[in-house]
C-alpha cells in the first residue's frame, strides 16, 4: 500500500469518477486505474463498483475513514518537513563546556537571537564526554567540547577544530609553588589536586599525563564548576590543572596565582594542551538555523 494509492482512492470518492479523479491528481486515467487495482490486490477486496458513477463497495466503505486519517497524517508530516527544511523550528539546543559557556558563547548567542528571533535557544553547560553523548542521542543539535576522537570518530559526525589552548596550574597566591616561574608535573604531584568530575575531558587528560609519568596524582576532590575550583584552591595548598580559558576570572583575583607547566622529556607540549571543537551531525547541518549557528561559532571562535 502506497500513499499515492490512497490519495487516488480519495480523489475517486470525492469526484465519483475515475476520469475526474485523474484530472484532479494530474495523472492519466489508466494510471489512476492501475493504482486502485494495485490497492485492491494488496487488500484482497474490490473497492468500487465499476459503473458510470464510482460507488464504494463494503470494502471501500471500511477503507474510507482510515484512508482519510492516513492522508491527513501524511499532509502533516509534509508540512513539518517543509518547515524543517525552511528553518522554521521552535528551538535550538546547544551543549558546551563551562569555559566556552562563560566567556565565548554570549556574543554568538546574542547575534543568533537577533538573526533568528523566533527560535528559542537552549544552552546547557556539560562536560565534553556527556555533551557528545547527548548529541549522539539526539538531545542537542550541536556541541562545543574538548575533542574526544573515540566519541567523534563516526561517519555521521562533523567535527571542526576551533582552537587549542595550554593547560596551566592554578594555586593560591601564597602556595609554595608560586615562587617558581614554571612548575613540572612531578612538582605538582606533591600536592593534593582538585579535578573535574568523571565525564569531563580534562579529568581524562590529567590522568593520562600522570600515568605516562608513572606518578599517581593526589586527587582530593572532584568538582564541576569554575567558581568552586577557585574557592577550593584559594584555601590552601590544593592545586588544579586547568585550561587557560577557564582562568580568565582567576587572573583578576589577587588571592590566586597561575603558573605554566614546564615540559619534560616524557610529556610533550601537545599533551599539555586541549583541542576545542564544534561538533554536530551531517543531517543537522542540512537544517538552516543549525548551519547558521555552526558558522557563527566558526566565525567567532576559530583561530
All domains of the chain in start order, with CATH? 3-85 (1.10.10.10), 92-303 (3.40.190.290)
In whole numbers, what is the pLDDT of the chain averaged over residues?
A: 90
Q: Residue 264: is its pLDDT beyond 80?
A: no
pLDDT band at 87 (very low <50, low <70, confident <90, very high): low
Mean pLDDT of 155-168: 93
pLDDT band at 240 (very low <50, low <70, confident <90, very high): very high
Q: Residue 270: is its pLDDT beyond 80?
A: no
The pLDDT, as a whole number, for residue 88 is: 65
Mean pLDDT of 39-51: 88
- If one compares 52 and 301, the residue with the highest pLDDT of the two is 301
Q: Residue 160: is its pLDDT beyond 80?
A: yes
Q: Residue 213: is its pLDDT beyond 90?
A: no
Q: Write out the three cell numbers for 95.
A: 551543549
The pLDDT, as a whole number, for residue 211 is: 87
pLDDT band at 152 (very low <50, low <70, confident <90, very high): confident
pLDDT by residue (tens digit) across 63-85?
A: 999 999 999 998 888 877 776 66
The pLDDT, as a whole number, for residue 300 is: 94
Amino acid at each position: 500500500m502506497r500513499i499515492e494509492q490512497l490519495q487516488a482512492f480519495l480523489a475517486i470518492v470525492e469526484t465519483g469518477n475515475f476520469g475526474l479523479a485523474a484530472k484532479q491528481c494530474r495523472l492519466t486515467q489508466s494510471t489512476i486505474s492501475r493504482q486502485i487495482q494495485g490497492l485492491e490486490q494488496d487488500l484482497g477486496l474490490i473497492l468500487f463498483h465499476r459503473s458510470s458513477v464510482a460507488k464504494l463497495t463494503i470494502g471501500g466503505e471500511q477503507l474510507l475513514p482510515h484512508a482519510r486519517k492516513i492522508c491527513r497524517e501524511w499532509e502533516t508530516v509534509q508540512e513539518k518537513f517543509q518547515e524543517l527544511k525552511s528553518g522554521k523550528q521552535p528551538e535550538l539546543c546547544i551543549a558546551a563546556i563551562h569555559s566556552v559557556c562563560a566567556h565565548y558563547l554570549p556574543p554568538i548567542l546574542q547575534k543568533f537571537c537577533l538573526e533568528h528571533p523566533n527560535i528559542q535557544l537552549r544552552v546547557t553547560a556539560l562536560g565534553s564526554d556527556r555533551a557528545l553523548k547527548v548529541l549522539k542521542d539526539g538531545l542537542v543539535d550541536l556541541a562545543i567540547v574538548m575533542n574526544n576522537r573515540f566519541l567523534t570518530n563516526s561517519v555521521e559526525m562533523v567535527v571542526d577544530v576551533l582552537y587549542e589552548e595550554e593547560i596551566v596550574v592554578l594555586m593560591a597566591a601564597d602556595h609554595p609553588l608560586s615562587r617558581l616561574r614554571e612548575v613540572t608535573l612531578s612538582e605538582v604531584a606533591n600536592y593534593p589536586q582538585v579535578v573535574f568530575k568523571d565525564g569531563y575531558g580534562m579529568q581524562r587528560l590529567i590522568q593520562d599525563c600522570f600515568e605516562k609519568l608513572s606518578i599517581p596524582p593526589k586527587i582530593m576532590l572532584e568538582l564541576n564548576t569554575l567558581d568552586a575550583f577557585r574557592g577550593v584552591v584559594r584555601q590552601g595548598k590544593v592545586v588544579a590543572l586547568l585550561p587557560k580559558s577557564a582562568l580568565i576570572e582567576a587572573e583578576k583575583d589577587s588571592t590566586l596565582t597561575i603558573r605554566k607547566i614546564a615540559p619534560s622529556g616524557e610529556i610533550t607540549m601537545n599533551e599539555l594542551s586541549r583541542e576545542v571543537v564544534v561538533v554536530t551531525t551531517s543531517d543537522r547541518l542540512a537544517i538552516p538555523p543549525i548551519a547558521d549557528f555552526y558558522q557563527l561559532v566558526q566565525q567567532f571562535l576559530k583561530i
